[in-house]
Amino acid sequence: VALYSIWDMLAKRFLLALQSTSIHRAGPDGVLRQEYIWLGDTRLQIFVGDHLLLGLLAILGLVLWSLLFLVLIYIVLRRNQQSLMEPRISRNFGFFFSGLEPDFFYWEVLVKRMDVLLVYVVTYMQFAPDVKAKLIVYL
């Protein structure tokens, strides 16, 4: 439960390491090119040079922490689905399914956390160059 409570903060930190914006710069030939720069240090292009290692570590952290961690909790709950109300299981994992219907034990771990993760990805990542496009995704 302690690790689960810091999931939110760590997911945001990993996404901050990938947060970028697009700018237009003139290339050597004078043609404007769109570049994505990291908002943590606007001198760096995202996934180029010094940011490459940081970006790869952030992606690895997102996969391991934000996805795999939740899947592992789900697997443990699924494995013990028939005995969720036993004192030992309920004491250790009741935080994740307390107040939910027994058939929907996974709701907090998979559905709600993935929903939060998707909102964070839309908020922190530059996947659409237009702000209006980001707002449409929120709908």
Q: What is the pLDDT of residues 67-125, one digit of tens each?
A: 999 899 899 989 988 888 888 888 888 888 888 887 888 898 888 888 999 889 888 88
Q: What is the pLDDT of residues 110-138, one digit of tens each?
A: 888 889 998 898 888 877 767 788 888 87
Query: How far is C-alpha 45 from the chain's CA centre?
Result: 21
The pLDDT-based confidence of 38 (bands split at 50, 70, 90) is: very high
Distance CA 86, CA 111 (A): 24
Distance CA 86, CA 35 (A): 55
Do the Cβ atoms of 24 and 14 come closer than 8 Å?
A: no
Give me the residues paired with residue 35 across strands: 23
Q: What is the pLDDT of residues 1-31, one digit of tens each?
A: 778 889 989 999 999 999 988 888 888 888 9
Using a cut of 0.85, tell me whether the model's pTM lies above it: no
